[in-house]
Structure 1
Amino acid sequence: MKIIELTAENVKRLKAVAIRPDGNLVEISGRNGQGKSSVLDAIWWALAGSSHIQAVPIRKGETEARIRLDLGELKVIRTFKKREDETFTTSIVVESQEGARFPSPQRMLDSLLGELSFDPLAFSRMDGRQQLEALKRFVPGVDFAAIEKANKADFDRRTDVNRQAKALRAQAAGIGVPAGAPAERIDETALVEEMERAGEHNADLERRKARLEQAGRDIAIIRTDANRERTLAQDLREKAEAAEARAKSQDEAADDLQRKLDQAPALPEVIDTSAVRRQIDEARKKNRAVDLREQRAAVEARAREAEETSSGLTKAIEDRTAAKREAIAKAALPVSGIAFGEDEILLNGVPFEQASSAEQLRTSVAIAIAANPKLRVIRVQDGSLLDDEAMAILAEMADAADCQVWVEVVQSGRSTAVVIEDGQVRGAVAVSAQAAE
């Protein structure tokens, strides 16, 4: 489906034009500011949704504008009306060849419209990333944005995990385990209990020894008291009997205590705790070495876990990338020899920007044609940048693909070129265009 006729009134700089294309290469020529761009914009505005229309679509001084496209099978009419606040309203009507109107005109056009806004020259001037984004639409079923988002998330996480693994490895390496450290921990409890028993035994021994020494001192005191009492008995006859009795009682107590002292068993030898203490110190030293070994093993285990996580993330990234490459390889790309690079597109194995101007033009036009499979129309702004050879390539490809290419140029040597002057079609072409209407 192509444009059979375009009419536009009061659209941007246009007053009133009626253009019936002659051939697949449609050149819109004229000086700057005369309305060439308005013709190409009118095509786009007639078909695209209102969100694509510029802020001031109505010619200065007018209150209404109208675009009519005859596509053969369909006729599209878009109208504009200016409000008092200088904004505008727009409406669209789409009719079939028989005159029936579609109830949802824009939805119908959206199903028909491809990438009419795709400008081959603009594509050739894009940077590598922008060209890559434009070409991705030819790979159905692949959500490039989702893949890139997932890969970036896994890459960032892998970076953190690798940093953590490296830190853990350094931490493990910094834990010095003494040579010959035992594999098993030594039980200090038995040694400590043995130490405690020895200490209690020695303390009890000291207490008993002190009691024995005190008993000896008590005997001496008692003996002294008895002698003093005897002396008192001699001096105090009156109290002799009482004193003698007391002396006898004291002697008996002393004799009883003496007997107990004589019968007391010999004290045992003092236990030497230095050997046990040395064993405890040695056990603690070895257990500290075991602690260091276990600590290092735990850190190394965490490092291995982090490294395994990193490997899993790497595999996820590689799997997604491989799936994307497989989908790209199976995709029907519009140009033979074109391929996806990392941040750019490739043509015959080399970056697109390194291809010749002719190769770049042919590739860009082929992509634009492939992007519009139903409505066989593409627009080319800045066509004045194309030399004769490039224009010939454009005409050749338009005919070969049976695709209508509307080109905006300042001057043209073609008799079929449409010249726009002060918002109208000028010259002999204008006469034939109006007559054809």
Structure 2
Amino acid sequence: MSTTTTTQVVHDTHAVEMTTSRSGTPASTLKSDHASIYNGDDEPQKPTAAPAPETRWTKVKKTSWALFVKYWFLIGLGFVIGLAFAIPWVGKSYGSIQAQYTVKWGAVIVIFLLSGLGLDVKVMFRTILRWRLHLYVQVVSFLVLPFLGWGVVRFFIAVGANIDEMVYQGWIIALSTSTTVSSNSVMTRNANGNDSAAVFNAALGNVLGIFISPALMTVFGDDRILFPPGSARGTPDYTKILFQLGLSVLVPLVVGQLIRFLFPVQIKKLSEKLRFPIINSIALLVMVWSVFCDGVASDAFHKLSGADIVAIIGVDIFMYLFGCALCLFICRLPWWGLPRLGWEEPAWLDRFRMSRKDAAAVMYCGATKTVSMGIPLISVLYADTSFGVKWIQNGEERDQLRASIQQQKADSPDTESLPSFSTRRRTAGERTSSD
């Protein structure tokens, strides 16, 4: 561009500014507009493009991802259950991956080791003095809910409900376990509750569960109505139970606490980097997958009737809601409507009330039950009647029966003229009664 042309552009621009200023439009606006077109050089500056509006597909992807991040554990539960029905031989005990060792031991050790690493030692010592809070949680978890569940089971038996006895026994085992490891602390934190108390009670409950859960099963096992003679229940060896649960639960938890105490900064950074809670939840999903693989492989779910499924869902919901309501009641101790009757609230009542944050921790810890403690407890109690043992025994019986039939066919050439019949191997009890 020549000098004459540049001078003319400047002169014309100045003229436009003077004209628009007289008409009421600020000159600074025009200068700004002019600057956005020319940046001092001869070439014009490209205007900035406005961001493109989000498409419907983009919104769907964002919403789907947000829902997945929020509910990924529930989605994972559905996935592992479906996977168990698809390939049960992989995750069952004595299957492709030898789950009785890799999962029943490995996943449990991972869960409690990460729990020990994630629990701040200082927080544990500060919260250990909150004895009343811990007492509420453990009493509801280990006394109220198990014996209430036992009463519910005895009620169903008394009225002659058409429910399989294995469902009754499953309820008792589940209610005899300790509180959950990770979900209660996560829910307490999301509710803005006392998450340190939730974490401590999760650790405390699972340590106590090593001793209390087998003891409860010993007490309930003496009920011959709930566990009749000949039912699929092994005789619990108390020393063996404590030994196995101690190695898989207590030792990893203590080791995790020692490592956390010696290297607190490094472990905290590693926990944030590797997402310990996510690994903990994945290990729990693996355990659930293996349990369902055992159930599918042994045809346990085909034995459940519609009444069994409805009863399981209904009783589980009732027990959880009752536990939540009871925890909130004892923590907050309401004085509903009594001042209208002239009954003033006593001073001691308020002293026994806990804060709302503490009440949330008690509610989530007291009403929940852990799968990670229940699975090894079932594995130990039912070691003599596990799927692996039944699979081998049933296979041997079928092989013997098949060999016997083939031998009969070989001895008798005219097999079609023989009457068909079926044989069944008598149990030890039947042989004894017939003799």
- TM-score in terms of structure 2 length: 0.19
- TM-score in terms of structure 1 length: 0.19
Which structure is higher in helix share? 2
Greater Rg by CA: 1
Structure scoring higher RCO (CA < 8 A, sep ≥ 6) equals: 1
